[in-house]
């Protein structure tokens, strides 16, 4: 899911990197999420997928920071 890195690290232009303590909600288009394959599909059937093919994926997460040196 290439969009996840973009959501955290930013794109260097319009999307800044998330800071410690920050909360971010992003909606990933299918091309940046799971695309035409979807995810969790049993036997390749679209009706059994946890995330159906060509779905947008919405993520909300909180970045608490790095734990180095603790």
Other beta carbons less than 10 A from residue 35's beta carbon: 15
19-69 residue pLDDT tens = 888 898 888 899 988 999 889 888 766 678 999 999 999 989 888 887 765
DSSP symbol at 21:
T
Please give the pLDDT value at position 32. Answer: 86
Per-residue confidence (pLDDT) for residue 18, from 0 to 100? 80
* pLDDT for the residue numbered 70: 55
Is residue 1 scored above 60 in pLDDT? no
The pLDDT, as a whole number, for residue 16 is 79
Q: How many residues does the chain have?
A: 70
CB environment 20-33: b (16+ within 10 A), e (fewer): eeeeeebebebebb
The Cα 62–Cα 10 span in angstroms is 15
């Amino acid at each position: 899911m290439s969009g996840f890195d973009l959501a955290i690290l930013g794109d260097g232009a319009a999307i800044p990197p998330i800071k410690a303590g920050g909360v971010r909600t992003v909606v990933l288009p299918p091309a940046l999420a799971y695309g035409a394959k979807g995810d969790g599909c049993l036997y390749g059937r679209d009706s059994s997928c946890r995330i159906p093919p060509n779905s947008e994926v919405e993520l909300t997460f909180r970045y608490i920071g790095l734990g180095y040196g603790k």
